[in-house]
Amino acid sequence: MTRRQAPVAHSRAGEPERDTGGPAPEDGLRGEGASRGGGPGGAESWDGWRLVADYHTHTRFSHGRGSIADNVAAAARAGLAEVGICDHGPALLFIGLRSEERLDEMRRQVEQAGAGNPSVKVLLGVEANVISPDGDLDISEGAVAGLDILLVGLHPQIRPSLWQGAWPLVWKNGVGWVSRMLGLDGRAAAEARRLNTLALVRAVERYRVLAVTHAGLKMHVDMEELAEVCARRGTAIEINSLHGYPREEDLAVALRCGARFIISSDAHHPARVGWLEAGRERARRAGIPPHLVLNACKEQASSPGADQLRSGPPGAACGQQARQRWRRERGWAERGRTGFGAKNGMAGW
Ligand SMILES: [Zn+2]
Ligand SMILES: [Zn+2]
């Protein structure tokens, strides 16, 4: 994996312009979303905003139905400016990547598909599994360093060979589910929730994560604790269109904590790439203003329309610049350390 995506052009003092009409960088600070856009009756309108990227799609490299080329072509048809190919990490039983070496072949196909669809920026990522309360992921740091984007999430179906490290998560969640089914007291479920939250928080602290996927799905989390760390670290809370997680009430909590968001399809079929409406509806109901959604973009007054968005700016620049600004605000680009995560700078995003 040798490819590094070129950073976007910077206009002044290294600051990329964001032509969304959106607010200044400090908008992600705690409570801003709630005071400006959140809450019933006070929500900023989504009129004129569109979602220009879908960062979470699956292919046959895990358990999606289409190829990378299929997903990219679908993204182009949907008028998206960016698409993420983020298959499941190898820890997922039966359906994860067979090995992280597959990423080399994926990179080759990403480049090929991108060349065939120049209107779409194709980002290679992984939906990595957090497999221990210490935030360990199921791909190596070397593999992460070759990615454009990194998503992390909790999934219960971890390969038994990895249970040694994952055992506290597997065991506590199992006991928690059973105790809930039997209507027993909530101590086991609460302990599982605490460990799940700890695992995600540590992963977000250790890695440069674009977003935490479908938080709360099957494995409960404390959204306040998670969102506060995400806001500080520059990690978005994903609003997952397929699974309906996080729930609306958790989104409202994340908003109050100063988090930012991405809305994604979690498409497992090319026809679902760019299917973001369910997520947008949930965001709207939770009072999330569109300027806090990193893949939302305000169309210009002249209404460029899909054709113009497909051709690149303003649509392409908009989602990409929002991501990069968010990252820079949290020191991702400036950290300048050598070694994992900094030498590559996650240049693609
Ligand atoms: Zn997932
Ligand atoms: Zn997924």
* 260/173: higher pLDDT: 260
What's the gap in Å between 137 CA and the centre of ligand 1?
A: 14
Percent of the chain with pLDDT over 90: 58
Rounded distance between C-alpha atoms, residue 196 and residue 93, angstroms: 19
Residue 120 has phi, psi (to 5 degrees) of -115, 130
Q: Is the pLDDT of residue 292 over 80?
A: yes
What's the gap in Å between 266 CA and the centre of ligand 2?
A: 5
* Residues surrounding ion ligand 1 at CB below 5 Å: 153, 213
H helices of 182-304, in order, are: 187-206, 223-233, 248-256, 277-285
User: Strand pairing partners for 92?
Assistant: 158
Please give the average per-residue pLDDT across 96-120, as a whole number: 95
Token pair 């997520």 is at which residue? 279
pLDDT confidence of residue 8: 30
Ligand nearest to the Cα of 59, by number: 2
Domain 25-329 sits in which CATH superfamily?
Metal-dependent hydrolases (3.20.20.140)
Ligand nearest to the Cα of 85, by number: 2
Structure token pair of residue 331: 């020191």
What's the whole-number average pLDDT of the chain?
79
Instruction: Tell me the residue type at 31.
Output: G
Q: Is the pLDDT of residue 189 over 70?
A: yes
pTM of the model: 0.80
What's the gap in Å between 6 CA and the centre of ligand 1?
A: 28
Please give the average per-residue pLDDT across 123-152, as a whole number: 94
| Cβ atoms of 253 and 246 closer than 8 Å | no
pLDDT confidence of residue 343: 35
pLDDT band for 42, please (50, 70, 90 cuts).
Answer: low
Q: Is the pLDDT of residue 307 over 50?
A: no
| Cβ atoms of 224 and 246 closer than 8 Å | no
Please give the average per-residue pLDDT across 288-314, as a whole number: 65
Ligand nearest to the Cα of 215, by number: 1
CA dihedral sign of residues 41, 45, 47, 52: negative
CA distances (Å), origin 277, targets 51, 62, 248, 272: 9, 24, 14, 11
| Cβ atoms of 81 and 316 closer than 8 Å | yes
Lowest-confidence range among 20-29, 180-189, 274-283, 317-326?
20-29
pLDDT in tens, 195-211: 999 999 999 999 999 99
Rounded distance between C-alpha atoms, residue 190 and residue 176, angstroms: 8
* 233/22: higher pLDDT: 233
Neighbours of 175 (CB within 10 A): 16
pLDDT confidence of residue 51: 94
Instruction: Tell me the residue type at 331.
Output: G
